[in-house]
């Protein structure tokens, strides 16, 4: 078992050594793979950043509930308490009719007209802020319906249209990224496969000799599989660097745009998990590409 | 050890390399396969090594009928046969050590054991100390001996050689043949294809002569020696070879 392990390790290191003998060719191949892997990584980064940016908007979603007139302030407070007990509600703020009227008079410039009124025409208002976990469009609609069904509540205002639109756009983009990633993955496999095919042709004599002295298909294939894995790892590292460069270049202007919108949003780079996924997909695609190519082409080489 | 039973070999281009060939080689025997080029010597060896398969007839090697050896079992089958080639077939980007070690590494032998056995094999062909050279630093004769070391390092039961002395001068040829004979003396079945007449005269071993894919002459070891001895002209220079 340990001999087997040592052989694999030797083959792994040996195939790396062989790649380093042809530095320029290896670098170019790895670069192409890196660009192909960087594209979906950057798109994924775009989605996760848009989600992070809109996440803070989700938190600012509010439902405004206008109470029926006349409703006593005590009654309004009781209703507010009841709504606060719901598990999907983070906070309920009550704006008494008097306070609202005062504010309106101050801000609107209709002071005199308002003074002419006999009684306060404004209702008490409850501002309901849902918990972020429940800030989905469908749930917000449900919450609004529940509030509407309360007897003292006259009207509930909720603007979910833009949330729906944004989520629809993100869904479409996410699907597009998945498609692009699938196509680029095929591309990576084709690149690795073709490189391995050329490598096999160059080492035809060696393969024949190995088969003559009893090397099985698996034994002959092994160094090519490891080459494919190395290409994948190299490509993933280059993709990671490219993504880092993209984020580095865009961070400052994006922060400025966010600042203009009054947001403290900061562009995020690849986290640990996406980095691991990038590396894993590089390894898997490199291995798969070389496996297909090696299995196909090694069969054709038989000693004669 | 090797038994051909009415074996035919016809290539896809229609050429019949072997026709109705029957031959039995016992365990521990050493046999010379002679004949002009194109007589079928190489084809016969290729059948033994399962590089080609018989078109008709039965071939049993080391107790295994080759017809029953599937494609995936060929590597394991070949590991019981050592092969020596006219053009050595060494890997030029690897050291002598790595070349000789290849069959052991394929067989999954432990690293320590590999070193021991490679050095033993190189010692047997007189190349101990050259492990770290690459093939091109060696003379043709030395390269051929590396090829032999590689063929015997995994201690195969059968050793086959196709024109192993084709590129060597007479002295080197004798040296190579003596190496083969030493392996034969420890029980390895040896089958050598050669049209080197000089060599044949020096080794009174069993001979099988092929012509157009058929056996036209088969001489047992003793008869060969007698034939050599009967010829006074040859007798003079051949004491060394004939004595054993």
Instruction: Confirm or reject contact between A14 and chain B (CB < 8 A).
Output: no
State whether A212 and B107 contact (CB < 8 Å): no
Determine the Cα–Cα distance for residues B111 and B129; give it in Å rounded to an integer: 19
The pLDDT of residue A50 = 82
Cβ contacts of A304 on chain B, cutoff 8 Å: 51
SS3 (DSSP) at A80: helix
- How many A-B residue pairs are in contact by the CB < 8 A criterion? 56
List, in order, residues 6 or more apart from A21 with CB less than 8 Å away.
none
Q: What pLDDT does B241 receive?
A: 44
Tell which B residues from 146 to 165 touch A, by Cβ distance under 8 Å.
150
Return the bridge partners of A64, or none.
A127, A157
User: If you measure CA to CA, which chain A residue comes closest to B42?
Assistant: A304
CA dist A198 and A41 (Å) reads: 29
A168: left (phi over 0), alpha (psi -120 to 50) or beta: alpha
- Comparing alpha-carbon positions, the chain A residue that sits nearest to B100 is A213
Q: How far is B71 from chain A (nearest CA, A)?
A: 10
Instruction: State the pLDDT confidence band at B239, using cuts at 50, 70 and 90.
Output: very low
Q: Which positions of chain A have pLDDT values less than 70?
A: 1, 55-60, 159-160, 163
Identify whether A70 is preceded by a cis peptide bond (ω within 30 of 0). Answer: yes
Question: Which of A7, A214, A222 has the highest number of chain B CBs within 10 A, making it the mutation to test binding with B?
Answer: A214
pTM of the model: 0.74
Residue ranges of domains in chain A = 2-57+164-300, 62-134
Closest-approach residue (CA) in chain A for B156: A213
3-state class percentages of chain B: helix first, strand second, coil last, to nearest 5 = 45, 25, 35
Joined together, the tokens standing for residue A20 give: 């380093």
Give the model's pLDDT for residue A55.
64
Of B218, B193, B223, B195, the residue nearest B207 (C-alpha): B218
Reported as a pLDDT band with limits 50, 70 and 90, residue B223 is low
- Under 8 Å CB-to-CB from A149, ≥6 apart: which residues? none
Strands B189-193 and B30-34 come out as parallel
Q: What is the pLDDT of residues B68-97, one digit of tens each?
A: 999 899 999 999 999 998 888 999 989 999
Percentage of residues of chain B with pLDDT beyond 70: 91
**Chain A interface includes B79 (CB < 8 A):** yes
Nearest to B51 among A2, A206, A304 (CB): A304
The b/e string for B130-143 (b: 16+ C-beta within 10 A; e otherwise) is bbeebbeebeebbb
| pLDDT of B243 higher than 60 | no
Please tell me the class of the A62-134 domain: alpha beta
pLDDT of residue A211: 92
**Domains of chain B, start order:** 2-80+157-243 (3.40.50.300), 87-155 (no CATH)
Q: Is B94 helix (H, G, I), strand (E, B) or coil?
A: coil
Residue B12: is its pLDDT beyond 50? Answer: yes
pLDDT in tens, B150-200: 999 999 999 999 988 877 888 888 888 888 888 999 999 999 998 877 777
Q: Does B107 touch chain A (CB under 8 A)?
A: yes
Nearest CA in chain B to A219: B106
Smallest Cβ–Cβ distance between A215 and the set B49, B75, B109 belongs to B75
On whether any CB of chain A is under 8 Å from the CB of B89, the answer is yes
Chain B residue numbers touching A220 (CB-CB < 8 A): none
CA distance A190 to A289: 6
Whether chain B has a CB inside 8 Å of the CB on A219: the answer is yes
Q: Bigger pLDDT: B117 or A73?
A: B117
């Amino acid at each position: 078992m340990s001999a087997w392990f040592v052989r694999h390790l030797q083959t792994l290191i040996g195939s790396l050594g062989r790649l380093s003998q042809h530095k320029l060719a290896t670098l170019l191949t790895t670069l192409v793979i890196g660009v192909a892997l960087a594209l979906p990584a950057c798109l994924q980064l775009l989605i996760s950043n848009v989600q992070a940016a809109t996440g803070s908007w989700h938190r600012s979603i509010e439902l405004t509930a206008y109470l029926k007139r006349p409703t006593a302030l005590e009654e309004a407070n009781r209703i507010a308490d009841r709504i606060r007990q719901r598990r999907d509600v983070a906070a309920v703020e009550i704006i008494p009719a008097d306070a609202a009227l005062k504010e309106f008079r101050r801000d609107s410039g209709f002071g005199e007209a308002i003074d002419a009124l006999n009684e306060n025409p404004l209702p008490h208002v409850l501002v309901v802020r849902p918990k972020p976990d429940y800030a989905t469009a469908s749930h917000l609609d449900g919450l609004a319906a529940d509030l509407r069904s309360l007897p003292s509540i006259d009207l509930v205002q909720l603007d979910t249209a833009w949330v729906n639109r944004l989520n629809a756009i993100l869904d479409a983009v996410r699907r597009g990224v998945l498609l692009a990633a699938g196509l680029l993955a095929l591309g990576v496999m084709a690149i690795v496969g073709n490189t391995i095919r050329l490598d096999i042709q160059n080492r035809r004599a060696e393969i024949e000799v190995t088969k003559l002295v009893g090397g099985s298909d698996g034994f002959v294939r092994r160094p090519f599989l490891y080459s494919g894995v190395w290409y994948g790892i190299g490509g993933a590292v280059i993709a990671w660097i490219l993504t880092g460069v993209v984020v580095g270049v865009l961070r400052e202007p994006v922060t400025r745009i966010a600042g203009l919108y009054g947001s403290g949003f900061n562009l995020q780079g690849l986290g640990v998990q996406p980095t691991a996924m990038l590396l894993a997909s590089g390894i898997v695609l490199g291995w798969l590409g070389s496996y297909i190519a090696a299995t196909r082409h090694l069969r054709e080489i038989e000693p004669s | 050890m090797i038994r051909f039973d009415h074996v035919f070999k016809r290539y896809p281009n229609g050429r019949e390399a072997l026709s109705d060939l029957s031959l039995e080689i016992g365990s521990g025997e050493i046999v010379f396969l002679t004949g002009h080029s194109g007589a079928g010597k190489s084809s016969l060896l290729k059948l033994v090594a399962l590089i080609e398969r018989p078109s008709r007839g039965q071939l049993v090697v080391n107790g295994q009928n080759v017809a029953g050896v599937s494609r995936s079992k060929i590597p394991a089958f070949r590991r019981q046969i050592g092969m020596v080639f006219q053009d050595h077939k060494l890997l030029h980007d690897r050291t002598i050590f790595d070349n000789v070690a290849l069959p052991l590494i394929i067989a999954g032998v432990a690293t320590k054991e590999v070193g021991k056995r490679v050095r033993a094999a190189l010692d047997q062909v007189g190349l101990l100390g050259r492990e770290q050279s690459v093939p091109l630093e060696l003379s043709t004769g030395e390269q051929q001996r590396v090829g032999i070391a590689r063929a015997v390092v995994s201690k195969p039961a059968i050793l086959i050689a196709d024109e192993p002395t084709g590129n060597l001068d007479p002295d080197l040829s004798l040296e190579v043949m003596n190496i083969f004979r030493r392996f034969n003396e420890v029980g390895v079945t040896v089958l050598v294809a050669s049209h080197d007449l000089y060599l044949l005269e020096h080794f009174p071993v069993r001979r099988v002569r092929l012509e157009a894919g058929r056996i036209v002459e088969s001489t047992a070891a003793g008869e060969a020696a007698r034939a050599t001895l009967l010829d006074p002209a040859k007798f003079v220079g051949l004491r060394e070879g004939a004595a054993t």
